Structure 1
């Protein structure tokens, strides 16, 4: 996108108030639009997220009352508590189902804006394109029940342990991957050495074969040695997000990487995980919910760093 196009697209946001926030370095522009009156084009999102000519971010989040969005009203009928909908766009303007780090930052934004209250011990329902997500406060920020996780290709995953091949610029050979859904699509690759993780070249998108219908985020996970210490398993991870590029963190990706590594580790692998990403540390917990399914919970910090108005 050239500079004149960026300027034109940013002009469409003139006078719109925004906040800038991040969760373990995964950063977002946040806009309050309670009645869904602000139409934001994909080009405007891309211009705002441009790190040289815009505000700069991995994505843009619009806070809209669920009642004001046609795609959110059905969710509201099933979950009347989901007053607010997280309309999330990737940095290139494309629509994403949701974002685990983004949900936490979104709730902090709603709290700072006086749009919701969340007392310790209470739970807040947030509408997303991947369904309702339940958020609670923690000492370190927020914990989000992302709902059930699943294998994208369960028969292949259970039979072979992998279901795809992944090629990345810095890896000497194509590596096997395992595709997992945590609300977003992910493909997880296990690495054996720290040098492989540190020297990853993620300037270009890794190639996943077979190609998922709507694309996939790709996580490269390194299990620690020992894997489990004091009942908590630990991995380190880097990620390439579709529509964005490499990011400092990915919440749903951290959950997918933990789920894949836990599956590969076999029986006896713990339910509590610590995931180190370039932007910090995230907590992941697997638990059986009231619906009888295994859910995954993501926890970590959320920080609002600035407010402003598009000029």
Structure 2
């Protein structure tokens, strides 16, 4: 006799059946682990329920987010792939920097591109075009141009907000910078103070922000440079719980620190985070790109 399924088990079975035989690769990097689907043409119709089930670490595969990549023709000189990404709660990801990074690495993991050669890639997403570079040691993403949220105030005063966080003894001035998504960066005095901040509680910002805004806490490392590369440490509170925006957060924190320190060099900074290092490169015309190492967790099929 077969034991009857619970309502929850039956629902999960139906979700699994709609994606039966769909292959995927699980990729991990500074923002956590991603489930990446790559299809020649879009055949999977991923719903919020599918995403939440896939990301569930008890009943599903387990991940911080899901990426769906419709692969471009390998014969194209500059292949353009369609890119979609979702957070673990099933809502669309807004900041797609880390999704594009995971998708690029997945191309090599799935042997769609040579994993021992450098290659360039273009993704078309709801937020616009994202360009990436794959190398055997890292994946780079061009974030594009950055901007101050309040240019006049930022340049004149170096700050445009006041931020208080649990663990700090007093409010700190912050600087708002848009690096695809909006971030307010605050300098702290030491690594000990950085580690004392309780990010389980949302920082308060004055004046109140008008849109979802990440909050970054940054401190220079000692020494400040190693072999010509700047060294920073970062902790980040996302704009919305589950937002996967650490790359753009590292970029905003680097830009803010350079302004405060009055530096024009170096152009490359290593930003240490709890989940790994992110390298930020500052270009002319206020362009910025980020680089990070990723790895394959496993391949699977639903």
Change (3 A) 1:172 1:139: same
Is contact 2:119–2:135 with CA below 8 Å preserved after alignment? Answer: no
Partner of 1:111: 108
Is contact 1:82–1:132 with CA below 8 Å preserved after alignment? Answer: no
Give, in whole Å, the separation in 2 of the partners of 1:284 and 1:239: 15
2:301 is the counterpart of 1:305: no
Give, in whole Å, the separation in 2 of the partners of 1:6 and 1:194: 46
Match of 2:225 among 219, 225, 228: 228
Partner of 1:274: 270
Change (3 A) 1:167 1:146: same
Partner of 1:254: 250
Partner of 1:58: 64
Partner of 1:264: 260
Q: Deviations for 1:252-301, whole angstroms, at most 9, x for unmatched residues?
A: 2111111111111114342110111112222111112xxxx231121121
Is contact 1:20–1:304 with CA below 8 Å preserved after alignment? Answer: yes
Is contact 1:20–1:30 with CA below 8 Å preserved after alignment? Answer: yes
Change (3 A) 1:238 1:81: same
Give, in whole Å, the separation in 1 of the partners of 2:286 and 2:278: 19
TM-superposed CA distance for 1:7, in Å, is: 7.4
Give the stretch that moved more between structures: 3-12 or 254-263: 3-12
Is contact 1:205–1:245 with CA below 8 Å preserved after alignment? Answer: no
Is contact 1:90–1:244 with CA below 8 Å preserved after alignment? Answer: no
Structure of larger gyration radius: 2
State TM-score, norm by structure 2: 0.83
TM-superposed CA distance for 1:124, in Å, is: 1.6
State TM-score, norm by structure 1: 0.81
| Long gaps (5+) in structure 2 | 1-5
Q: Deviations for 1:214-257, whole angstroms, at most 9, x for unmatched residues?
A: 4122221111234234322110111122344597x821211111
Counterparts of residues 148-167 of structure 1 (less than 5 Å): 148-167=145-164
Is contact 2:116–2:136 with CA below 8 Å preserved after alignment? Answer: no
Give, in whole Å, the separation in 2 of the partners of 1:65 and 1:100: 18
| Long gaps (5+) in structure 1 | 68-78
2:185 is the counterpart of 1:188: yes
2:222 is the counterpart of 1:219: no
